[in-house]
Amino acid sequence: MNYKFFMKTIFYVGVLALFAVGCGQTPQSKTATLRDALKDKFYIGTALSVSQFSGIDTLSERVAKENFSAIVPENCMKSMFLQPKEGEFFFDEADKYVAWGEANNMWITGHCLVWHSQAPDWLFVDENGNNVSPEILTERLKNHITTVVSRYKGRIKGWDVVNEAILDDGSWRNSKLYEILGEEFIPLAFQFAHEADPDVELYYNDYSMALPAKCATVVELVKKLKERGLRIDAVGMQGHIGMDYPTLEAFENSLLSLASTGVKVMITELDLTVLPSPNPNMGAAVETNFDYQKELNPYAEGLPDSVSQAWDSRMGEFFALFLKHSDKITRVTLWGVCDKDSWRNDWPVPGRTDYALLFDRQGNPKPVVQTIINKTKE
């Protein structure tokens, strides 16, 4: 073999080898992330706290960027933070949140325009502490909603307009909003939000929606809003669930009744607590709290394999249900990134160690993440 021929052979063998290695590394064989795997099904979202979009909690920030396609602000857009004093708006953190979402190609949701909780005290009362008139409250709501929604027009894609206005038995929550304006505060809020950004999606969001009485009132509410020609795109079923509540069947029934009104359904605020609760099936009534007791915090040193497997299997069953109804569901959002971030560690009992989210305290995916990815291919 002459020298030239030898060198040529070596060259072509090398090219072929590189080609073979390259083929083995095509994107198809790279491990898909949750975000990629669910891309044709629904957005997969997470709630972000300020430290996660301000360069402080870089662990959860990385996990959020890599795995999720949608974000919602856990606290920074609530009215007590955005307008702590009448007419004095504070947008620094909300601005950062939206900029972070844009930089990371996220579907950006705003949470929440009208909620009885985490609202500033001044909103409902006059200088003597008495309830304001319906006219004044209407004006204040209009000003808050218009200012906030207009600021992020075209950038925030959907708003939780009204949060948690209905109690678990299906009756109206007797909040200051309801006391002063009756049910009317809801259509007014939807109207003001739509006027401020006619293209933005508008949502009603609530917990314990698998309870038939509660779901029935939400269904009626959606119908009434639609009858009045108001825009409502979706209902958010908050998914603050436990190991034995609600049943999958009850959750599915509610999902189907909500979808039958013609709106989309979003699973918002999903987390699965593994801890014992002094008051079972309590949804997310933030006003209900219990004192810390050691017996209520059984997994402070770690989760036994059997419990962790049971958790994984239940979370997997819920995702299987979401995938089954992916034609009706536009977004599934976890209420937090990693277990360490979850509000469940402090509610309804403070200072516990819960394991409620898809990523553990070190930011590693739990086995259910791969199960979900596999299910998207079925």
Q: What is the set of active-site residues?
A: 164, 269
Q: Which is nearer to ligand 9MR, 41 or 164 (CB)?
A: 164
Strands 107-115 and 234-242, bridge-based pairing: unpaired
Q: Which is nearer to ligand 9MR, 37 or 337 (CB)?
A: 337
Lookup: tokens for 150: 């207009």
Contact 112, 148 (CB under 8 A): no
Residue-wise DSSP of 171-206:
SBP--HHHHHHGGGHHHHHHHHHHHH-TTSEEEEEE
Q: Which is nearer to ligand 9MR, 74 or 201 (CB)?
A: 74
Distance (Å) of CA 263 to CA 42, 60, 230, 256, 334: 15, 32, 12, 11, 21
Give the binding site for ligand 9MR (CB under 6 A): 74-75, 117-118, 163, 238, 269, 284, 286, 343
Tell me, rounded to whole angstroms, the distance of Cα 174 from its chain centroid.
25
In angstroms, give the least distance from the CB of 81 to ligand 9MR: 11
In angstroms, give the least distance from the CB of 335 to ligand 9MR: 6
In angstroms, give the least distance from the CB of 67 to ligand 9MR: 19
Lookup: tokens for 124: 């409902």
Nearest to 152 by CA among 65, 48, 73, 50: 73
In angstroms, give the least distance from the CB of 229 to ligand 9MR: 28
Q: What is the DSSP letter of 106?
A: P
In angstroms, give the least distance from the CB of 143 to ligand 9MR: 22
Contact 311, 274 (CB under 8 A): yes
Q: Which is nearer to ligand 9MR, 37 or 166 (CB)?
A: 166
Q: Which is nearer to ligand 9MR, 257 or 333 (CB)?
A: 333
Contact 254, 215 (CB under 8 A): yes
